[in-house]
Amino acid sequence: PGADNPLGKMKFMFPNDFNIYLHDTPAGHLFSEAERLFSHGCIRIQKPFDLAVYLLKDDPKWTPEALQAAIDSGQNQQIPLKDPLPVHILYWTAWVEPDGTVQFRKDIYGHDAQLEQALAEEPPVWLDLKVMRGEVKAAM
């Protein structure tokens, strides 16, 4: 941990098969960039201290002051959570904002091509596609 460490002063580990974790960053200025491909698979978080305070809120040992003191010590420490917290990560390259604005981002992992191919295939259940397309009327 430390100001010069690319992972910053904190990282948040969770079980996964890809060795991905959430981490702090000394390059906080990058959060203002439109292009966000600066990490190598892990996920930089903008407010790691706030996340740690939230995660440890039910542990009386880890007050915000105690947490800050641990960070300031510069010592590498692991703090397990009393209760596991489910982590669900989504990879979105397009979404709609509450105001209706559609946002698009580069598909850096190439998953959109797989999705496009799957959507282009015929459905795995029987459907009368000519009826669905309005080409013929359904038999009654």
Give the alpha-carbon dihedral of 50, 53, 57, 61, to 10 degrees: -170
List residues bridging with 22 in a β-sheet.
12, 43
Is 40 catalytic? The answer is: no
- How far is the C-alpha of 5 from the C-alpha of 42, rounded, in Å? 14
Active-site entry in 29, 40, 42, 88: 42
Contact (Cβ atoms closer than 8 angstroms) between residue 97 and residue 35? no
Is 88 catalytic? The answer is: no
Annotated active-site positions, please? 23, 42
